[in-house]
Amino acid sequence: MENECLVRARSHEQKLKRRNDILVAAEALYLEGDGRLPSAAEVAKKASLAKGTLYLYFSSKEALFLEVLRGFLKGWFENNLEVIEQEALLRPEERDSARVAQKFVQYLVKNKQFLYLASLSQGVLEQGTDDEAVLSHRRFVSSMVKRTADALSELYAITPEDANKLMRTSYALVIGMWQMSQIPDRVVELMRQNALDNLIVDFGASAEEAVVSYWRVLAPGMKCREFLRQLAEQNCS
């Protein structure tokens, strides 16, 4: 019997499944790897496809991994929206914007393997991706940032514009802290031997501290809107 993976996908459902199979294979290889992007040939082999078939679904290896990154970002944004939704269930006086910031960061720290991909997004992945796919990715990120920012501005006393800035800069801070923490073991040992420990970054703790501190500077207190409304009503009564 002919291998199902070598049969040309004809229906829309078959094509969607094959595209997803390629993405699953690419992500699995990336997570198994040693800090490099797998080749298109390696991904095709993992998905039991001919290398040429992969290019029927993605214009380049970079376009493929930009889509893998998009899947990771989708998970992060969905996590953030769920965090905000759970916070909204609390009584107004119990809501804490610092806790929201911490949970935003904790998801990225927990899934830090994908931050290497994120660091490549502009300089490598988008450079090697066709315009249509780049725009699709950018539009997706823009829409998800807006959704999250709008949800924050509904819950807290912050404008949608400032909430948008919070999201963009918080993400950049985490990427920057991750890059600073990527010190080769040999260099770490040299630093410790020469009393340079203050330059060794604890990624998780540093990223959380940086983001929470930034939220406090940009939107001091970030009080819950409902709590402020209740206080105003009490003052008027």
pLDDT in tens, 170-179: 999 999 999 9
Identify whether residues 66 and 142 lie together within a single domain: yes
Domain that holds residue 40: 1-57
The contacts of residue 61 (CB under 8 Å, 6+ apart) are 37, 39, 40, 43, 128
Q: What's the CATH number where 29 sits?
A: 1.10.10
Asked whether residue 81 carries a pLDDT value surpassing 60, the answer given is yes
Domain-terminating residue out of 38, 57, 76: 57
Q: Last residue of a domain, which of 18, 42, 57?
A: 57
What pLDDT is stored for residue 119 in this prediction? 95
Helix 160-181 with 131-155: angle, nearest 10 deg: 120
- pTM score of the predicted model: 0.88
Based on the domain organization, do 175 and 81 belong to the same domain?
Answer: yes
Is the model's pLDDT at 44 over the cut of 90? yes
| Pair (94, 66) in one structural domain | yes
Instruction: Report the number of distinct structural domains present in the chain.
Output: 2
Whether 95 and 183 map to the same domain: the answer is: yes
- Tell whether 111 and 198 lie within a shared domain: yes
Do 76 and 126 lie in a common domain? yes
User: Do 2 and 47 sit in the same domain of this protein?
Assistant: yes
Q: Give the per-residue pLDDT at 217.
A: 83
- Is residue 25 located within the same domain as residue 120? no
Q: Are residues 92 and 208 in the same domain?
A: yes
Q: How much is the mean pLDDT over the chain? A: 89
Residue 191 — very low, low, confident or very high, per pLDDT cuts 50/70/90? very high
Last residue of a domain, one of 14, 38, 57: 57
What's the CATH code of the domain at 189?
A: 1.10.357.10
pLDDT class for 93, splitting at 50, 70, 90? confident
Task: Specify the pLDDT at position 4.
Answer: 44
Residues 34 and 140 in one domain: no
Angstrom distance (rounded) from CA 232 to CA 237: 9
Pair 79, 132 in one domain:
yes
28 and 90 both lie in a single domain: no
pLDDT for 156 equals: 86
Give percent above pLDDT 90 in the chain.
76
